[in-house]
Amino acid sequence: MKIYLIALLLFAALFLQPILFSAPLRAQSSFDLVQFSDSTKYGWRDLSDRLDFRADFTERQNLLQIYNIESQSVHENMLKSAIFPGWGQFSTGHFTKGQILLGSNLVLFGTSLYFYDRALGYHRSYEKATQVDEIEKFYKKAQEPFQYSVIFLGFATLFWAYNVYDVIGSTQEYNIALWDRIMRENYRRPIRLTPQGVEIEF
């Protein structure tokens, strides 16, 4: 008897659950069918306008796909330039700028390293010195190239930071030029390259 009762309760719970616990369904009170089907709200005067718009839109979408494939990411180029100064600029085709930035960074970091090495040499002599005058002499001798090293390292860091900052503009410039080129090439040529294939306009 108990088993039947439990089975009945489970059965009832199974069927009543959607009714008891779900949100009640309500019909949408008002739907403006006229406004929904009004094509003039987008500035289309007639069906021909709408079809022209659609054709143009599809074409732009295709061009955008090409642009997305060929364009460069700002973040990626920033990372490149951060790892190796000028790399991002080389990627965007700004070779002169890339060479200048690479050269400047190499010279500044190299000079800083050179002075640091000299400072370390004198500092080693300072650490070995046991005579008062020599201790002071070698410390002063080490201090001077060390400060030069810090100055050059500071400038190198500024140049490095500028190089990373500059690549943002270079990449944007590249992408703008790329979009212009895609547009120009697409509208000039009777034969167009699209992601779907080749289109020939007669």
Residues that bind other proteins (CB under 8 A): 119, 123, 126-127, 129-133, 135-136, 139, 142-143, 146-147, 150-151, 154-155, 158
Closest distance of CB 166 from other proteins, Å:
14
Closest distance of CB 39 from other proteins, Å:
52
Closest distance of CB 136 from other proteins, Å:
8
**Whose Cβ is closer to other proteins: residue 114's or residue 146's?**
146
d(CA 97, CA 77): 14
Residue 16: CA count within 13 A, CB half-sphere: 7
Sequence-separated (6 or more) residues with CB below 8 Å from residue 186: 59, 63, 192
Residue 8: CA count within 13 A, CB half-sphere: 5
**Whose Cβ is closer to other proteins: residue 64's or residue 153's?**
153
Closest distance of CB 109 from other proteins, Å:
15
**Whose Cβ is closer to other proteins: residue 64's or residue 151's?**
151
Q: Determine the residue type at 198.
A: V
**Whose Cβ is closer to other proteins: residue 123's or residue 192's?**
123
Total count of residues recorded for the chain = 202
Of the candidates 24, 51, 39, 70, the one whose C-alpha atom is nearest the C-alpha of residue 185 is 70
